[in-house]
């Protein structure tokens, strides 16, 4: 594990460096507080630090305050090395942001023991961050396909539409549905159906830009939000997505399956100010029209006419 040592006395710094290297640490040694602050506030800062309290220019407590003022970076466990022994000084050091202190001259074994304590605390923090991130992922992503879940994709759509209206941009919304998916489940079982859904999500995500959004709208329906989409290219971009799903067989435990997808497209530039619910209603009408046209195709909702509605009621499955 990497550790920063900030000590202005060259002999003490060398002694600390050798002691820590023998203990298995990768040591970064600096001679003043300004250098310590630069390293610890950098993008790849070590997670452990030993700071001499008294250093020219910037002392140990000042470095602590600078490190604690960073935003959204990994926690650094800081030990102050000091000759100060009064309770007032100890309190001042800890309140500056230090996690522990060690009085000079220190015992090397005590130093290593205190650093082991710091490593345990950092390990615990890492586990808590990992658990928090896992909880956030489960709350925002579909458990089967690992793409955005319905709640999040609708929220992202709303934000993107608001941004487009505000900046005069264009957002393309694609509501897509796998054709005859119920037959896949009925014929091959739900395990194979789940494989198809995961592969569909993978193909859609692989066919959009990093700043576009793909979410599972529900069942076998997917919602794709193409941000900053050129209105003239929206139809061809949507068709590329449909082909990405429909043209290649799906390899499953039941063998290769051909699965097709129908989709309804809405381009915000064609419409004016509409809410998320209205947008989805028009996109859904376009999707029904694609189903009525024989499936495995794309239909665009047009603002020049009444909302697209199929001539007959069609089961979207």
Q: Which residues are catalytic?
A: 220
E strand segments, 245-293: 250-252, 255-257, 261-267
Question: Nearest to residue 61, comparing CAs of 111, 97, 101?
Answer: 97
Helix (H) or strand (E) holding 229: none
Length of the chain: 317
Contacts 24+ apart (CB under 8 A), 160-164: 160/213, 160/225, 160/227, 161/268, 161/274, 161/276, 161/279, 164/268
| DSSP letters spanning 32-95 | SHHHHHHHHTSTT--SEEEEESS-SSS-HHHHHHHHHT-SS----EEEEEES--SHHHHHHHHH
Bridge partners (DSSP) listed for residue 80: 51, 101
Instruction: Specify burial of residue 244 (Cβ count, 10 A radius: 0-12, 13-18, 19+).
Output: middle
Which residues make Cβ contacts (< 8 Å) with residue 70, sequence separation at least 6? Answer: 41
Question: Nearest to residue 2, comparing CAs of 59, 54, 52, 40?
Answer: 40
């Amino acid at each position: 594990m990497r550790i920063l040592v900030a000590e202005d006395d060259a002999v003490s710094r060398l002694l600390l460096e050798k002691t820590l290297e023998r203990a298995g640490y990768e040591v970064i040694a600096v001679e003043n507080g300004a250098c310590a602050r630069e390293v610890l506030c950098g993008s790849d800062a070590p997670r452990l630090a030993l700071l001499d309290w008294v250093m020219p220019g910037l002392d140990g407590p000042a470095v602590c305050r600078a490190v604690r003022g960073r935003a959204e970076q990994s926690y650094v466990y800081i030990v102050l090395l000091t000759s100060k022994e009064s309770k007032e000084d100890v309190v001042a050091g800890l309140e500056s942001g230090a996690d522990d202190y060690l009085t000079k001259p220190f015992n090397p074994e005590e130093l290593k023991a205190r650093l082991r304590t710091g490593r345990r605390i950092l390990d615990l923090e890492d586990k808590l961050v990992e658990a928090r991130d896992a909880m956030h992922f489960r709350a925002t992503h579909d458990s089967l396909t690992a793409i955005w879940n319905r709640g999040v994709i609708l929220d992202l759509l709303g934000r993107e539409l608001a941004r487009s209206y505000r900046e005069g941009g264009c957002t393309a919304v694609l509501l897509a549905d796998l054709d005859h998916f119920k037959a896949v489940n009925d014929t091959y079982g739900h395990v194979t159906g789940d494989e198809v859904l995961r592969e569909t999500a993978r193909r859609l995500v692989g066919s959009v830009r990093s700043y576009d959004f793909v979410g599972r709208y529900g069942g076998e329906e997917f919602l794709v939000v193409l941000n900053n989409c050129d209105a003239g290219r929206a139809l061809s971009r949507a068709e590329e997505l449909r082909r990405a799903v429909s043209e290649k067989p799906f390899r499953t435990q039941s063998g290769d399956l051909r699965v097709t997808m129908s989709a309804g497209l809405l381009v915000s530039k064609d419409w004016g100010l509409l809410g998320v619910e209205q947008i989805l209603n028009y996109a859904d009408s376009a999707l029904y029209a694609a189903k009525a046209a024989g499936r495995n195709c794309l239909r665009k909702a047009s603002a020049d006419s009444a909302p697209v509605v199929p001539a007959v009621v069609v089961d979207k499955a």
